[in-house]
Amino acid sequence: MTAPVSVTAPRSPSPEVARFAADLGGTWLRVRKWKGSTVEHTAAPSLLNFPGTPVRELQDRLVEVLATAAPLGADAVISCGAALDHTSGILYGSGPLWGATDEPYDLVGALRGARPDVTWTLVNDLTAGLADFVSRRAGSGTRRAAYLTVSSGIALRTADLRDRTIPVDENGLQGEVGHLPTGVTFDGGDPLVCDCGVAGHVAAYSSGPGIERRARRAGVQPEVTHWLPAALEANDPLAQRILGTAIAPIAGLLRTAWCLDPHLDLVGVGGGVVAGIGAPYRTELLTQLGVATGYADRGFSREWLESRLVFCAAGDVDCLRGAELMRDGFLTAAM
């Protein structure tokens, strides 16, 4: 089985088919209406942006926005910030988009119903990000590569570049690590609750909303996104503890990934949290990865890490570009 999932519908007879692309995250919806046009930014119709709105209403808004934006007869690809079955296109859920709901949603079917003249292709945003990262950073000798995004959500996806595939399980999933349990309660007390509604997930501590909840619990009053970078620059002890707590589960994920897959030659780390915090995030993650935790993990040298770990600034990885690469078959998902 391969991905991305595409639903074929009648095309416009025009010899020039418009190539429409959109990237949906928990915060922003980015749209490029045709190849080469300016990217338009609007607030995503998400629970993160519109708290208290019924999930069905948010999904209907999303379909309306995309269906309205797509040109007549377009070849449309959507990069979507939700866990999805790469073999069927069914969305399983997204904390930032729809909160705790886990009811499967057929976004492609809804879009086809609204705009049957458009060919709709759906890929996960991390899959799109991985494709763009690989196209720009992987060398000819890279065996396996991964991209980890730390933003309003967290996930890590891996591709085997020897056969250009992204392995997925029987549910069409791979790498939804943000919804794994940390197994640790930081600072005592009750574990923090993830946007999906479950306590103790990696995203509950390490995502943007998770870091904000952790800071609020510690008594931070100013807007965390503005306070944290300035406080880190000033070597504020509370800010450093909050950052260390947020990065510990991420360091654990990377240790586990390299333990299970010694052929993982390249890992990109990006997303809004990584880009927003910048150098302090890089320093803390490299420091934690350098600490030995036992005979199976003797710590990674700085030289070893710098040959394999790439920190991606804002704009280094573009899910719109990646979605278009997936539409063109640059990588495929395979069970």
pLDDT at 133: 97
ω before 4 within 30° of 0 (cis)?
A: yes
12-46: pLDDT as tens digits: 444 578 999 999 988 889 999 988 889 999 999 99
Strand ranges, E, within 129-263: 144-150, 154-160, 165-167
280-304: pLDDT as tens digits: 999 999 999 999 888 877 889 999 9
- The label of the residue with tokens 């199976």 reads 296
Q: State the distance between the two ends of the chain, measured CA to CA, in whole angstroms.
A: 6
- Helix residue spans in 145-236 (DSSP H): 202-206, 208-217, 224-233
- Mean pLDDT value of segment 297-323: 92
Q: Which two tokens stand for residue 200?
A: 């103790």
Query: pTM, whole model, 2 decimals?
Result: 0.86
pLDDT at 3: 42
Q: Which two tokens stand for residue 19?
A: 């190539």
- Mean pLDDT value of segment 69-82: 94
pLDDT at 188: 66
pLDDT at 1: 35
pLDDT at 27: 86
Number of H helices, E strands in the chain: 12, 14
Q: Which two tokens stand for residue 280?
A: 């302090």
236-256: pLDDT as tens digits: 999 999 999 999 999 999 999
Neighbours of 1 (CB within 10 A): 13
What distance in Å separates the CA atoms of residue 314 and residue 238, rounded to the nearest whole number? 26
- Residue 3 has what DSSP assignment? S
Average pLDDT, the chain: 89
264-283: pLDDT as tens digits: 999 999 999 999 999 999 99
